Each structure stands twice: as structure tokens, then as C-alpha cells.
């Protein structure tokens, strides 16, 4: 974002101390000071309410400070907060049992840790241990985290400057329905040829040690790339033929956001591992790695080690239980589907009026708005996207533009967003596009 803080948000002491004492971990800080967050809004130092169309960092699916989450967190911080990592408690076993009931396929065993990167690390380590192989395939626009193994298989953002990735990290072209170079005679996206070619290249690079393929069912940080119908099933078949295990990273898509409880339900494919994070704690640090009993038994026999400080912590597990209870009780997946249709319709209406909107995509409440310099060439317009984001913030709405040189907004309000707030968000986009184009 290009704007500078103003009014009480400009507090010179605050910014001087931030500059003196904070590590800059991911680009410019937003030009405001957040003071509180409730429901689908947060409030800045000027008392200005800001509509949260990013769900915090894509996590707060129940909005902020949901009263039931607050009650559970208060209770557990006072009664049962954190334990030695091999000591079990009821919330942990209850959450594992509930996830086994609702997850696709036979993902009956769970490991609870804190972050998405860790959950993917755990799945990758287990796949390596169980298969005895080490090569991992991931998508060219993936984001799986910044820890070693996850970062080795993350391609949507900068890999430059951190030395070698783990050996055997291979890339598949991400399914980009809008910009793929693979088109058939009629100009339609030929995802099958692209996928087959991708695996042909992997076979040529592999030393016979393919272990797993890790995939987001919708590639969110890569620009909200929704694989076409049939793609994930075809990918799973490629993996099956090579005896590779499949890991679905549902950090962002999991627990209702896409209109299904798990995005992979649309594709009718159950993986060997499914990772959850952001949405599972709905803003608190909780992540899970789910796998099947067959796989977990082999891993345990071989002494699987993923021992972390916060493994099986009761407090976040109790929060995760409550998050899922609310999602199921309030039928939030269905709500996401319905409100997503309203939001997508509104964005498509804007596309009719603004030539700079090249594409509107995604499903449920995980939508992408792709800004271009020219609809014919589809050249991305990252500068325009930054200007629009700054205009949105000025008008009271937080948005997220993905990294990597594109001009793609990732639009993901909490699942508790009200229809009137969707309409307000659309109005703010409309005014902000107009202002940024002036
Ligand atoms: C799909 C996906 N997986 C994993 C991660 C990493 O999660 P964390 O930042 O909690 O380690 C992210 C974070 O954006 C993500 O979007």
C-alpha cells in the first residue's frame, strides 16, 4: 500500500518505535494502528471502523472476538492452558474425534500444532518416512509456509536469497484458467495437456524417489486459482500411478469458506493427508495434520518425530472444537456459498463497467479480482491494484493483493459477513476503482 498514516494513526512515537524495533517480514505495514476488532470490522486509532475483507490473515472466519470463542479462550486460559507435549487432555481427543467424523475419506488420525507451515512440514515428513522416498511435487503458484520443507515447495513468492531448497523439490504448472499458455484449437484452457506435460517433466527429473504431491485445492496466495472440474481427480490419478501420496493443504479453503466444509469435497478426492490451520483456530494459532490409520501406523512403527512445544495444547484445541461447532451449527459453509454468489455477482457487474477487471474467479467466499492493463494481453496491473487497495482502506475496507507481480485481489470476508456488508464492500470497490483510475 502506498498511503501514509494520517490523524491519530500517524502517532510519530509509535511509528518511530516500530521502525527502530520491528523486523520487516513482508513488505510495508498498513498505514494505521489497529486498536480493537469485533465482528467483521476492526477499528483504528482514529476510531474509524474498517470492514475486514481479509478475515485478518485469512483466518477469522467467525469474525473477530466471536463471543463463544472468547468464552472458551477465557475458560481455558484460566483452567487448562498448556502442558508437557506428551500429556493429553479432553479437548485434544475430542477435536481429533470430531475431525475424523467430518473430514473426507479415512483421515481418522490428527496431530495438533500451531501454524500452517508446521502442519505441512508434518505431512511432508510423514510422507517421506512412510514412503522411504524424498521427492515432492508442488504447484508453481503454491504457498505452503516459510519453514524449510514448506518453503522448498512454495513457488508463488520469492525464493531468492535463502540458499538451496530441499533436494527433490519439483514443480507442476499451476492451473491458471485465465492465463495458461496451454489452449486448445478453440482457445479453451487445455488443462489436461498441461497436467500431462507437467508430469512428463517430473518423470524426467525424478530419480525414482517420488514421495508426495502437495496441493491447495484453490491456490489462494498464488492468485485464487481454482482448478477446473476434473483437474484434481486427474492429478490424484497421476499420483496414484506413481505411488505418490497426496497432501491437500486446506489452510485457507478448509472449514466452509468455499461453500463446502472442505474444498476437496467438490472434487470428490480424498487425500492421504489433509492440513488445516488458519481457519481451524479462526484467528488463534492452531493447525492440524490429518492422515489415515494405515499411514500413521507405519509412521509410528518407524518412530515418527514431530515433537513441538505446542503439540496437543489444550487451549487452542478447545477453541478449534468451538470453531467447528459454530460452523456446523450455523451452517456457515452454505452461508459462504450463498453470500459468495452475491459477492461474485457484484464483482462481475463491476467487470462489465471497468475494463481493468480482467477476471473474476473463485468460489464461496474466496474470490479473486484480477486487474489488467489490457484485457486482450491480460498484462497484470500491480500498481493499479496497490492504488485501489489504498483507496479501499481510505474508504474503510481492508483488502489483500497477492504477491508475485500480479494485480490480483484476494477477497475473503469472514463467513459471518452480512449481506449488507457484502454490498458495502462492493460499493467501496466501485468507488475505489473509479478514484484509482482518475
Ligand atoms: C495454503 C497455505 N498453507 C500454508 C500457509 C502457511 O501458514 P502459516 O503462515 O500459518 O505457517 C499459508 C499461509 O498463508 C497458506 O495460505
| Residue of 109, 278, 322, 335 with catalytic role | 278
* pLDDT computed for residue 65 by the predictor: 98
Which of 144, 216, 218, 255 most suits a substitution to test ligand 1, by most atoms within 8 Å of the C-beta? 144
Cβ contact 167:134 at 8 Å:
yes
236 - beta bridge partners?
none
| Residue of 118, 249, 296, 370 with catalytic role | 249
- Per-residue pLDDT 10s for the chain (438 aa) are 557 898 999 999 999 999 999 999 998 999 999 999 999 999 999 999 999 999 999 999 999 999 999 999 999 999 999 999 999 999 999 999 999 999 999 999 999 999 999 999 999 999 999 999 999 999 999 999 999 999 999 999 879 999 999 999 999 999 999 999 999 999 999 999 999 999 999 999 999 999 999 999 999 999 999 999 999 999 999 999 999 999 999 999 999 999 999 999 999 999 999 999 999 999 999 999 999 999 999 999 999 999 999 999 999 999 999 999 999 999 999 999 999 999 999 999 999 999 999 999 999 999 999 999 999 999 999 999 999 999 999 999 999 999 989 999 999 999 999 999 999 999 999 999 999 999
Sign of torsion, CA 403 173 267 317?
A: negative
C-alpha cell recorded at residue 301: 512403527
251-310 pLDDT, tens digit each: 999 999 999 999 999 999 999 999 999 999 999 999 999 999 999 999 999 999 999 999
Identify the CA nearest to 320 among candidates 88, 68, 84, 136: 68
C-alpha cell recorded at residue 407: 494485480
Centroid of ligand 1 to alpha carbon of 142 (angstroms): 10
Sign of torsion, CA 342 343 348 351?
A: positive
Centroid of ligand 1 to alpha carbon of 317 (angstroms): 19
Q: How many CA atoms lie within 13 A of 184 on its CB side?
A: 8
Residue 139: enclosing H or E segment and its boundaries?
A: strand 135-139
pTM for the model? 0.98
Give catalytic status of residue 143 as yes or no. Answer: yes
Q: How many CA atoms lie within 13 A of 72 on its CB side?
A: 21
| Residue of 118, 245, 252, 359 with catalytic role | 252
* pLDDT computed for residue 2 by the predictor: 55
* pLDDT computed for residue 1 by the predictor: 55
* pLDDT computed for residue 404 by the predictor: 87
Centroid of ligand 1 to alpha carbon of 221 (angstroms): 9
Those residues whose C-beta lies under 8 Å from the C-beta of residue 178, and which sit 6 or more positions away, are: 358, 359, 361, 370, 378
CA distance 282 to 53: 14
Centroid of ligand 1 to alpha carbon of 403 (angstroms): 14
Residue 55 near ligand 1, beta carbon < 6 Å:
no
Percent of the chain with pLDDT over 90: 97
Cβ contact 363:259 at 8 Å:
yes
Amino acid at each position: 500500500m502506498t498511503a501514509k498514516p494520517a490523524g491519530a494513526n500517524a502517532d510519530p512515537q509509535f511509528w518511530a518505535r516500530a521502525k527502530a524495533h520491528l523486523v520487516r517480514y513482508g513488505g510495508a505495514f498498513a498505514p494505521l494502528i489497529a486498536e480493537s476488532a469485533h465482528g467483521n470490522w476492526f477499528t483504528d486509532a482514529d476510531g474509524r471502523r474498517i470492514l475486514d475483507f481479509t478475515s485478518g490473515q485469512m483466518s477469522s472466519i467467525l469474525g473477530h472476538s466471536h463471543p463463544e470463542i472468547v468464552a472458551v479462550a477465557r475458560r481455558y486460559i484460566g483452567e487448562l492452558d498448556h502442558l508437557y507435549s506428551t500429556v493429553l487432555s479432553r479437548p485434544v481427543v475430542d477435536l481429533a474425534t470430531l475431525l475424523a467424523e467430518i473430514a473426507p475419506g479415512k483421515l481418522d488420525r490428527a496431530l495438533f500444532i500451531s501454524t500452517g507451515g508446521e502442519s505441512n512440514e508434518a505431512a511432508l515428513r510423514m510422507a517421506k518416512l512412510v514412503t522411504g522416498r524424498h521427492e515432492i511435487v508442488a504447484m508453481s503458484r503454491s504457498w505452503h509456509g516459510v519453514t524449510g520443507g514448506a518453503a522448498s515447495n512454495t513457488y508463488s513468492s520469492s525464493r531468492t536469497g535463502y540458499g538451496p531448497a530441499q533436494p527433490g523439490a519439483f514443480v507442476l504448472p499451476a492451473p491458471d484458467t485465465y492465463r495458461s499458455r496451454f489452449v486448445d484449437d478453440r482457445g479453451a484452457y487445455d488443462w489436461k495437456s498441461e497436467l500431462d506435460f507437467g508430469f512428463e517433466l517430473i518423470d524426467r527429473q525424478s530419480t525414482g524417489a517420488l514421495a508426495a504431491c502437495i496441493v491447495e485445492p484453490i491456490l489462494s496466495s498464488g492468485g485464487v486459482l481454482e482448478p477446473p472440474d476434473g483437474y484434481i481427480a486427474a492429478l490424484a490419478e497421476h499420483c496414484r500411478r506413481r505411488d505418490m501420496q497426496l497432501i491437500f493443504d486446506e489452510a485457507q479453503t478448509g472449514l466452509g469458506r468455499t461453500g463446502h466444509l472442505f474444498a476437496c469435497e467438490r472434487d470428490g478426492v480424498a487425500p492421504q493427508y489433509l492440513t488445516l490451520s488458519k481457519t481451524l483456530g479462526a484467528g488463534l494459532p492452531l493447525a492440524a495434520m490429518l492422515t489415515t490409520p494405515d499411514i500413521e501406523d507405519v509412521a509410528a512403527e518407524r518412530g515418527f518425530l514431530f515433537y513441538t512445544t505446542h503439540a496437543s495444547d489444550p487451549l487452542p484445541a478447545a477453541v478449534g472444537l468451538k470453531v467447528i461447532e459454530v460452523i456446523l451449527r450455523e451452517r456457515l459453509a452454505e452461508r459462504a456459498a450463498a453470500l459468495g454468489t452475491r459477492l461474485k455477482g457484484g464483482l462481475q457487474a463491476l467487470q462489465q463497467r471497468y475494463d481493468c477487471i480482467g477476471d473474476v474467479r473463485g468460489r464461496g467466499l474466496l474470490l479473486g479480482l484480477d486487474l489488467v492493463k489490457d484485457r486482450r494481453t491480460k498484462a497484470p496491473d500491480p500498481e493499479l491494484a496497490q492504488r485501489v487497495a489504498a483507496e479501499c482502506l481510505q474508504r474503510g475496507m481492508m483488502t489483500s493483493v497477492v504477491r508475485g507481480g500480479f494485480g490480483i485481489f484476494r477477497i475473503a470476508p469472514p463467513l459471518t459477513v452480512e449481506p449488507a456488508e457484502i454490498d458495502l464492500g462492493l460499493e467501496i470497490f466501485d468507488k475505489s476503482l473509479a478514484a484509482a483510475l482518475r
